[in-house]
């Protein structure tokens, strides 16, 4: 088994921060008829991105006011390169975790769960790491980029709940409570080096190795078996609905391209243009909560007004 600290093809990779259209794209619409028709036909596969969680208080990466305008996410290569980078990450992530623990599913998450309960969906793939689809009641969600609710050891591979690590970090860093300038979609809070100070990082409780959140960092690849599972879901679906994703990175765009190549309808609900627009029947430029609850109403599907808090995210 090779070193877990290897880079892709031997090169340091930086995040894809932006995407600029190289062709004229059709404008967005407010017409929800095609989305309603696709859902009513059943067998629809949902692919969601950070935009579906903005109404829960978690910002997206690239939309208006997105976190990439002020923040470069931690890469796998930086995380594994040195202890100072990991101290910076875990201090910021530990503080950000508290915000994630307070986040509740919004109307968009609840609508997706309602569509699933009524048998209209073939599955849900999410690029998000916040667990809010599951908290809203969606089942069998594929977490393409993993989950902040778990941590994994890079040495022995042991997996453990994030809440357990949060407790250890609280005990080791009593009084750590800086005021962050903001929170990012990956759970990373904006802190200065001075605020981070000498924050203590906890090792693996099993072997003493390096702990990493069980998420796919920028510069890291999605596990091949997970990608293949998603490709199977696309093959088995009747149509693909994109919710709140710019599709800037290939991890999500590849499934849009696959669906289009297979002749399956692709529909997008996202306020800004996306890299997948040229493959889509339509892009609805409406807030997700509004759009999805409107569609649910047209289909006669009730959307719960309240959803329980996500207990798997709440820290003790």
Q: How would you write the pLDDT of the chain (316 residues) with one tens digit per residue?
A: 233 333 333 333 344 555 566 667 778 999 999 999 999 999 999 999 999 999 998 876 544 544 444 456 788 999 999 999 999 999 999 988 877 777 899 999 999 999 999 999 999 999 999 999 999 999 999 999 999 999 999 999 999 999 999 999 999 999 998 887 777 766 778 888 899 999 999 999 999 999 999 999 888 899 999 999 999 999 999 999 999 999 988 899 999 999 999 999 999 999 999 999 999 999 999 999 999 999 999 999 999 765 444 444 443 3
Residue 162's SS3 state is helix
> Running DSSP on this structure, what letter comes out for residue 228?
H
Please enumerate, by residue number, every residue annotated as part of a binding site for Zn(2+). Answer: 153, 156, 204, 207
Active-site hit among 71, 104, 133, 145: 145
Domain ranges across the chain: 33-298
| Predicted structure pTM score | 0.86
Instruction: Name the binding residues for NAD(+).
Output: 49-69, 127-130, 244-246, 288
List CB contacts of 207: < 8 A, sequence separation 6 or more: 153, 155, 156, 158
In 3D space, the residue among 106, 151, 156, 150 whose CA is nearest the CA of residue 132 turns out to be 106
Per CATH, the number for 33-298 is: 3.40.50.1220
Q: Which two tokens stand for residue 210?
A: 């390096």
Q: Cα–Cα distance between 4 and 152 in angstroms, integer? A: 12
Q: Using alpha carbons, select from 56, 130, 65 the residue that is nearest to residue 93.
A: 130
Q: Which residues are annotated as a binding site?
A: 49-69, 127-130, 153, 156, 204, 207, 244-246, 288
Residue 279 known to be catalytic: no
């Amino acid at each position: 088994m090779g070193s877990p600290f290897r880079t892709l093809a031997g090169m340091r990779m930086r995040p894809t921060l932006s995407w600029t259209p190289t062709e004229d794209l059709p404008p967005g619409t407010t017409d929800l008829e095609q989305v309603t028709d696709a859902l009513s036909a059943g067998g629809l596969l949902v692919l969601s991105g950070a935009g579906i969680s903005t109404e829960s208080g978690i910002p997206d990466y690239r939309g208006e006011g997105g976190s990439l305008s002020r923040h470069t996410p931690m890469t796998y290569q930086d995380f594994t390169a040195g202890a100072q980078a990991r101290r910076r990450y875990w201090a910021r992530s530990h503080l950000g975790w508290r915000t994630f623990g307070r986040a509740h599913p919004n109307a968009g998450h609840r609508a997706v769960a309602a569509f699933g309960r009524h048998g209209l969906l073939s599955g849900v793939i999410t690029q998000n790491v916040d667990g809010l689809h599951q908290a809203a009641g969606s089942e069998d969600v594929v977490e393409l980029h993993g989950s902040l609710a778990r941590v994994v050891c890079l040495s022995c591979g042991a997996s453990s709940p994030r809440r357990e690590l949060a407790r250890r970090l609280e005990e080791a860093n009593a009084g750590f409570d800086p005021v962050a300038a903001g929170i990012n979609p990956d759970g990373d809070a904006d802190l200065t080096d001075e605020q981070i100070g000498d924050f203590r990082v906890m090792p693996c409780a099993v072997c003493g190795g390096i702990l990493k959140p069980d998420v796919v960092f920028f510069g890291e690849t999605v596990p091949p078996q997970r990608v293949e599972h998603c490709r199977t879901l696309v093959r088995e679906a009747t149509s693909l609905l994109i919710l709140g994703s710019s599709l800037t990175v290939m991890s999500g765009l590849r499934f849009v391209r696959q669906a289009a190549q297979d002749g399956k309808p692709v529909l997008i609900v996202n306020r800004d243009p996306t890299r997948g627009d040229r493959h889509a029947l339509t892009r609805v430029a409406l807030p997700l909560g509004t759009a999805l609850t409107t569609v649910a109403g047209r289909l006669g599907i009730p959307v719960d007004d309240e959803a329980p808090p996500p207990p798997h995210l709440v820290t003790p």
